[in-house]
Structure 1
Amino acid sequence: MVDVDQLSLELPGALQLAIKVVVALFLFGIALDTRVEDLRAVVRRPWVMAVGLVAQYAVAPGVALLLTLVLDVRGSVAIGMLLVACCPAGNLSNLLTHRARGDVALSISLTALSNLLAVLLTPLAFGFWCGLNPAATELLRDVSIEPATVMSEVALLIGVPFALGVLVAWRRPRFAESAQRVVEPGALGLLVLVVVGGAAAQLDVLVDYLGVVAVPIVAHNALALGVGYATGRACRLGPPGVRAMTFELGVRNTALGVVLALGFFSDLGGVVLVAALWGLWDVVTGLVLSTWWRRGEGSVARGAPGDAIVGP
């Protein structure tokens, strides 16, 4: 079996294009569901947003870095873990928050803000945290990556569909409300089809290397959810707000991670495997946790942004 650091892993061009379409649809859906009253939460509770962003781009990747060092994972696996950790939250976190009877307004506001800033922060955070892992640094010396190229790719995948969605929501609010009901489940369905198709195309590789990446992915996912939960409690949020923060920090935009992994690290198989399998595990743990919370007590409502937030 080839060392995971030397494994070259590529998906068919059609599947790669499909993943990019899914990423764009997710961001378009987030923008369609972003209302003015949601964004007012940023003004009403700027400290909550600030803490959430710091946790997302500093605390969570820092925990991921420590995990890569403790587990002594291969360089490409470390790069994959840090890449996913530096990606913003995705539309899936909003769906899971709603299912868990959490504060959807807070979730959408955080997702919108983190994705807006991801154009700059994701490439910068990824480069910084990878530079602190010796195994990852060693591998990256042989990979030519221009920060401007990464930023342009992230901007194309996030900035353009997000801006288009905001424009549609502003100029055609009724259409946006109707379209959003179709875009969210449609994008989720496409994501499932793409993941299943990609897994089927590389089934033999997944079976061979599952043991290499399974423990890091499971441990990292659990820690990420834990960071989100702890952040929500530290911000003195009510139960709905804690649930929202848990999914915002624990459920990443792995579709974006897969696109970046295939685009820049296809010759480092561990990066692609971590991003792809994390996406599957995100769905499993997210559905289990949201279902468990849904069965308990909790207020359901989109409500006014910040209504579920308590604190000074």
Structure 2
Amino acid sequence: MSAFLRFSQWIQKTFAVWVMLFAAIAMWMPEAFIWLKAYIAIMLGIIMFGMGMTMTFADFKSVLNRPKAVFIGVVAQFVVMPGLAYALCKLFQLPAEIAIGVILVGCCPGGTASNVITYMAKGNTALSVACTSVSTLLAPLLTPFIFYILASHWIEIDAGSMFVSILQVVLIPIVLGLFIRTLFKHKIERYVQVMPLLSVVAIVAIVAAIIGASKAAILESGLLILAVVVLHNGLGYLLGFWASRIFKLDYPDCKAVAIEVGMQNSGLGVALAAVHFTASPVTAVPSAIFSLWHNISGPALASYWAGKADKLARAEQLIQNKKVESDQVNISEP
């Protein structure tokens, strides 16, 4: 079992590589992955069920312990990213089918990958988990509502149908996973350890399915969509961080909120686009590219912050050692 866990951890650490590899294969041989598109909602449900199984009710204690930080993180999530998406669509004058996809991923809650990236960045992981949990639970209401307000400019939106979809593929699987974990506790511990690997496989399959189904649209508009996604993601990190600084959160909290805001549940965006905009496959492409890109930018940002934290810790340790040496010299003097 230990060998399997090491393999699972290795797959998770190299997640971005697998996403890029299978995205490239899907562009080369789209017919090998297009059939997976019919199972996107099911795969997302598996991912959300796995998320629920890795959660406990204790995770929500952070909401009570740090209500201000969680409130700022969740509000920033549902204000910054949708607002940025709308502004970028207007700035680049995106075609309607692409604009809808950009706004859709902007209206999604934070992704579970943000928790791992926050840990890597030496941020407040408990705060990240709390923000992800709360934003995901609010998603059935807020995602369709905000999307309707922003995207109805381009197309008629059925917010009620989208609400039902999010309940089915997000909230219900999470709640089921959470209750199963609570009821059976240690009996399913070994199965819980498998869920992250299943999630990685499912996300890679989702991205490959959308890339394969949208090859022609990507060849035509891929660079434009990539530019918008990179700006959306990067500005999300930046504005999430500075929103936290303005409200005087601790530095580890600021890192957690920045990552939480910048990294979206892009799998949900893909699933919603696949279900509600079947006539326009390119609508799912911004979410698919976002999934690819934020799994590159997130680890890069985490490495920068972790290196900065290690450098600061070494400097503080050096100062402490010099202080101890100075005290010892003073004691030894007659």
The alignment's TM-score, normalised by the length of structure 1, stands at: 0.81
Matches of 2:194 and 2:64, distance apart in 1 = 30
Gap regions ≥5 residues in structure 2: 1-30, 311-334
Matches of 1:58 and 1:160, distance apart in 2 = 25
The Cα of 1:129 is off from its aligned counterpart by 1.8
Q: Is 2:129 aligned against 1:108? A: yes
What secondary structure sits across from 2:309 in the alignment?
coil
2:85 pairs with one of 57, 64, 73: 64
Q: State how 1:107-256 maps to structure 2 within 5 Å.
A: 107-131=128-152, 137=153, 139-141=154-156, 145-200=157-212, 202-256=214-268
The Cα of 1:176 is off from its aligned counterpart by 5.0
Paired position in structure 1 for 2:118 = 97
Matches of 2:128 and 2:47, distance apart in 1 = 14
Matches of 1:175 and 1:266, distance apart in 2 = 41
Q: Is the 8 A contact 2:97 2:282 kept in 1?
A: yes
Q: Is the 8 A contact 1:31 1:112 kept in 2?
A: no
With over 3 angstroms needed to count, the CA separation of the structure-2 counterparts of 1:98 and 1:262, relative to structure 1, is: same
Matches of 2:92 and 2:254, distance apart in 1 = 29
Kindly provide the amino acid, as one letter, of the partner of residue 155 in structure 2. Answer: L
Matches of 1:106 and 1:16, distance apart in 2 = 35
With over 3 angstroms needed to count, the CA separation of the structure-2 counterparts of 1:287 and 1:252, relative to structure 1, is: same
The Cα of 1:288 is off from its aligned counterpart by 1.4
Matches of 1:22 and 1:295, distance apart in 2 = 35
With over 3 angstroms needed to count, the CA separation of the structure-2 counterparts of 1:236 and 1:25, relative to structure 1, is: farther
Between 209-218 and 158-167, report the one with greater CA deviation.
209-218
1:15 pairs with one of 37, 55, 59: 37
The Cα of 1:153 is off from its aligned counterpart by 0.5
Gap regions ≥5 residues in structure 1: 1-9, 132-136, 299-312
Between 268-277 and 103-112, report the one with greater CA deviation.
268-277
The Cα of 1:269 is off from its aligned counterpart by 4.2
With over 3 angstroms needed to count, the CA separation of the structure-2 counterparts of 1:110 and 1:178, relative to structure 1, is: farther
1:261 pairs with one of 245, 270, 273: 273
Paired position in structure 1 for 2:323 = none
Matches of 1:251 and 1:146, distance apart in 2 = 26
Between 108-117 and 61-70, report the one with greater CA deviation.
61-70
The superposition leaves residues 253-292 of structure 1 with CA deviations (integer Å, 9 ceiling, x where unpaired) of 1111011111112323442221211111111111211222
Q: Is the 8 A contact 2:55 2:178 kept in 1?
A: yes
What secondary structure sits across from 1:297 in the alignment?
helix
Q: Is the 8 A contact 1:16 1:259 kept in 2?
A: no
The CA RMSD measured in Å over matched residues stands at 2.4
Matches of 1:56 and 1:201, distance apart in 2 = 29
With over 3 angstroms needed to count, the CA separation of the structure-2 counterparts of 1:21 and 1:294, relative to structure 1, is: farther
Paired position in structure 2 for 1:49 = 70
With over 3 angstroms needed to count, the CA separation of the structure-2 counterparts of 1:146 and 1:198, relative to structure 1, is: closer
Kindly provide the amino acid, as one letter, of the partner of residue 61 in structure 1. Answer: P
What secondary structure sits across from 2:196 in the alignment?
helix
With over 3 angstroms needed to count, the CA separation of the structure-2 counterparts of 1:154 and 1:180, relative to structure 1, is: same
Kindly provide the amino acid, as one letter, of the partner of residue 237 in structure 1. Answer: L
The superposition leaves residues 90-111 of structure 1 with CA deviations (integer Å, 9 ceiling, x where unpaired) of 2111122222222221111111
The Cα of 1:244 is off from its aligned counterpart by 1.6
Matches of 2:197 and 2:115, distance apart in 1 = 12
Q: Is 2:291 aligned against 1:291? A: no
Q: Which runs of 4+ in 1 moved over 4 A?
A: none
Q: Which has the higher contact order (CA 8 A, sep 6+)?
A: 1
Kindly provide the amino acid, as one letter, of the partner of residue 142 in structure 2. Answer: L
Matches of 1:47 and 1:238, distance apart in 2 = 12
With over 3 angstroms needed to count, the CA separation of the structure-2 counterparts of 1:161 and 1:206, relative to structure 1, is: same
The alignment's TM-score, normalised by the length of structure 2, stands at: 0.76
Higher Cα Rg: structure 1 or 2? 2
